Amino acid sequence: MVEDLIRSLGGRPITQASLKPAPTGPVPGAPSGEAAGGDATDAAPPSEGGDEGAPADEGGEDEGDEGDEDAPSEAVPENSVPDPDEPAAVPLTPAPAPLVPRAALGAAIGVFLLPQLAGNPAVEGESMGGLIARGGAFLGARRRLYVGGDLGLAAGGSKVPTKLALTAQGLDLVVGLRLPLARGRLELPLSLALGGAREAVRSRAEAPRPACAVGDGTLVGRRFGGRVGGRAGLLVLLGARRAHGLGFGLGAHYTGYGPGPSTAGCSQAVFADLGLGRHRLTIAIDIGYTFRL
């Protein structure tokens, strides 16, 4: 019908057979990605049914898209996307090793000064020599807290054989701190002590027994008491593990004794008769060795 109208007007209708198919490949000289079908779309006349002709390359693009959809994609592991309902895995870390206290053992020799006994006419005891045994452990995160005990034995000199001899023993609970110096090669020990003490007076060959003596043999009398004190010192640590130490210390103790025993016929205890008071100040100077396990 449309063709008859065109012929009546003196024109030549374009039939379906005279149309050339638009090229589907890339146009030579065109930029990358630009198909020749783009120009063909602008120049293509409407089809016989009166609709605008679709670009020939659209079909090619659709076919390409369909090909991409049909192409197999890379396999994605099932575990690559975590399940939101599943709790996240926590990395396991080894538990820290428990901090084991480090033990310490030591021994020292010391000199004990008793200024209250200076000038006593009956007992020689203003200065005494003795041995000290120590043991304890270092506690805390940095092992600076020290808890242990001290056992000390002391005896007076024999400068004046006509005087009675004085002996003493002490057992203390010690709590202190160890402050490192010089990158741990030196330590400053500070400690407090609380314990008990025993004091005894003994006769000598040239010193007669007092009339109010209590005891058998050379024992004149003995008494017990409690004491409190403190100590400061300096310790040099040796060895790769710093297990060996040499040091010295300076300490002081206050001791309160009981009255001591008395015998029948004596108005007072033997210690009071000898001029030994119940309150005593002792100054200690010691040097010794420490081994840390």
Q: Note the pLDDT tens digit of each residue in 251-281.
A: 999 999 999 988 888 888 999 999 999 999 9
Q: Note the pLDDT tens digit of each residue in 22-63.
A: 566 555 555 554 444 444 444 444 444 444 444 444 444 444
Model-level pTM greater than 0.85?
no
> In terms of Cα–Cα distance, which of 108, 110, 113 is closest to 253?
113
Q: What phi and psi, each to the nearest 5 degrees, are found at residue 59? A: -60, -40
Q: What is the C-alpha separation between 222 and 260, in angstroms, rounded?
A: 6
Query: Between β-strands 102-113 and 279-292, what pairing exists: parallel, antiparallel or unpaired?
Result: antiparallel
Better-scored residue on pLDDT, 46 or 211: 211
pLDDT > 70 fraction of the chain, expressed in percent and rounded = 70
Domain ranges of the chain: 2-62, 102-292
Dihedral (C-alpha) 231, 233, 239, 244: value to the nearest 10 degrees? -40
Average pLDDT over residues 53-81: 49
How high does pLDDT run on average in the chain? 81
CB 130 within 8 A of CB 153: yes
**Predicted confidence band of residue 248 (pLDDT cuts 50, 70, 90):** very high
Average pLDDT over residues 119-142: 93
CATH architecture of 102-292: Beta Barrel (2.40)
